[in-house]
Amino acid sequence: MPRKKEPSFEENLERLESIVEQMEAGEVDLAELMKKYSEGVELSKKCMSALALAEKTMDLLVQEENGTVKETKLEIRETEEC
């Protein structure tokens, strides 16, 4: 059975923004609010993890060596989370 494709960073962020809008509208009952809050926390963790990985990757590109900038090939690595 094929593995389910994980949502991208952009998809997770879009879903998180949608949840925030729904919560801010105040039209959700308490039980649904708690479910959305929990989902939002998980999406936030995934997005923060993806951003941290991107930042780490970019930091590797801009390393100085003996006062000069050392060029490093950009390799995009994806996590299972985002």
Determine, yes or no, domain membership for 41.
yes
Place of tokens 């060029």: 71
- Give one word for 41, left, alpha or beta, with left for phi > 0 and alpha for psi -120 to 50: alpha
pTM over 0.85: no
Determine, yes or no, domain membership for 54.
yes
Contact 8, 47 (CB under 8 A): no
Determine, yes or no, domain membership for 4.
no
Determine, yes or no, domain membership for 76.
no
pLDDT in tens, 10-29: 999 999 999 999 999 988 89
What percent of the chain has pLDDT above 70?
70
What pLDDT sits at residue 63?
61
Q: Hey, what are 4's tokens? A: 């389910």
What pLDDT sits at residue 44?
96
Average pLDDT score over residue span 37-49 = 96
3-state secondary structure of 5: coil
- Phi/psi for 17 (5° steps) reads -60, -40
Number of domains in the chain: 1
- Phi/psi for 46 (5° steps) reads -65, -45
Determine, yes or no, domain membership for 75.
no
Higher pLDDT, 70 or 57: 57
What pLDDT sits at residue 82?
45
Domain limits at 42? 9-70
Q: Hey, what are 40's tokens? A: 């939002």
